[in-house]
Amino acid sequence: MSEETTREIYERSGLGGDANLGTRPAVLVVDLSRGFTDTRATLGSDLTAVVEATTRLLAAAREGDLPVIFTTIGFEPNLKDGSLWLQKVPSLGELVIGSEWVEIDPRLGRRGEETVILKKGASAFFGTNLPSVLVSEGVDTVILCGATTSGCVRATAVDLLQYGYPTIVPRECVGDRAQGPHEANLVDIQAKYANVVPVEDALAYLEGIARGKAGAPK
């Protein structure tokens, strides 16, 4: 089934509405760590374009003094905290706390005051303090970036919806190691969980926030 056919079926089914956005967004960067952006890592792939697009978005958020949050996957050296996920994805065992693979990609220029959440599951919410961080920052909307589209980005998008956060996914700011799952999940995320938009629209939204004239990107 083609992507166009899928979209037509979804539209006939009443999927794909636009979520209304708020005026206090945060940028949530999921797992753009060396373990996913460095091709030397088993799980790594060339996400240079994703990193570059996300860097643009981060610059706009920082200019507007908006919250920036990173997540990274990391396990204890004995891997006993990995449970079933490590059985399904044994290469996750490379992501040991303290190793270079858990470090946020330095090209993103993370600042010392920007929160980094260590996670051990696909969703950024699973077993973490992310809900408390979002509440404490007064966040009402999330701009979701990161990797992988078919894994942790999708899982986080689902939970953001369930926690009541309207979400934007700039398509250039998410990536995957294979194009097929990447594109298929973007279609599904747009249909059910978040607003998938060009990065230029996300930047325009942030600029509107800075001007005090928020507008939802289409």
- Which pLDDT does position 25 carry in this prediction? 98
143 within a domain of the structure (yes/no): yes
Paired sense of beta strands 68-73 and 115-119, if any: parallel
Indicate left, alpha or beta for 146 from its phi (over 0: left) and psi (-120 to 50: alpha).
Answer: left
pTM (two decimals): 0.94
86 within a domain of the structure (yes/no): yes
218 within a domain of the structure (yes/no): no
pLDDT digits (tens, 9 = 90+) for 116-161: 999 999 999 999 999 999 999 999 999 999 999 999 999 999 999 9
- Which pLDDT does position 4 carry in this prediction? 78
Average pLDDT over residues 159-180: 98
Whether 145 is a known active-site residue: answer: no
3 within a domain of the structure (yes/no): no
Residue 29 pLDDT > 60? yes
Say how many CA atoms lie within 13 Å of 105 toward its Cβ. 27
Cα–Cα distance for residue pair 156/101, rounded to 1 Å: 21
Question: Minimal CA–CA distance to 156: which of 16, 28, 7, 20?
Answer: 28
Cα–Cα distance for residue pair 157/143, rounded to 1 Å: 10
The H-assigned helical ranges of the chain are 3-12, 34-37, 48-63, 83-88, 130-136, 154-162, 179-192, 199-211
Q: Please enumerate in sequence order all residues whose Cβ is within 8 A of that of 32, keeping only pairs 6 or more positions apart, or say none.
A: 47, 50, 51, 54, 70, 104, 105, 108, 145, 146, 147
Q: Which residue has the tokens 């077993």?
A: 127
20 within a domain of the structure (yes/no): no
* Average pLDDT in the chain: 95
| Model confidence band, residue 214 (pLDDT cutoffs 50, 70, 90) | very low
**Catalytic position from the list 47, 50, 144, 152:** 152
Q: Are 177 and 145 in contact (CB under 8 A)?
A: no
- Which pLDDT does position 218 carry in this prediction? 47
Cα–Cα distance for residue pair 118/141, rounded to 1 Å: 21
pLDDT digits (tens, 9 = 90+) for 55-99: 999 999 999 999 999 999 999 999 999 989 999 999 999 999 999
Q: For residue 91, what is the domain's CATH number? A: 3.40.50.850
Cα–Cα distance for residue pair 141/202, rounded to 1 Å: 12
Q: Which residue has the tokens 């006939």?
A: 12
Give the C-alpha distances (Å, rounded to integers) separating 1 from 4, 9, 106, 165: 8, 11, 40, 31
CA dihedral 33, 181, 157, 125 (to 10 degrees): -50
Range of the domain at 191: 25-211
- Which pLDDT does position 212 carry in this prediction? 82
Domains in the chain, number: 1
7 within a domain of the structure (yes/no): no
| Model confidence band, residue 211 (pLDDT cutoffs 50, 70, 90) | confident
Residue 2 pLDDT > 90? no
217 within a domain of the structure (yes/no): no
114 within a domain of the structure (yes/no): yes
CB atoms near residue 111 (< 10 Å): 9
Tell me the percentage of the chain whose pLDDT exceeds 70: 97
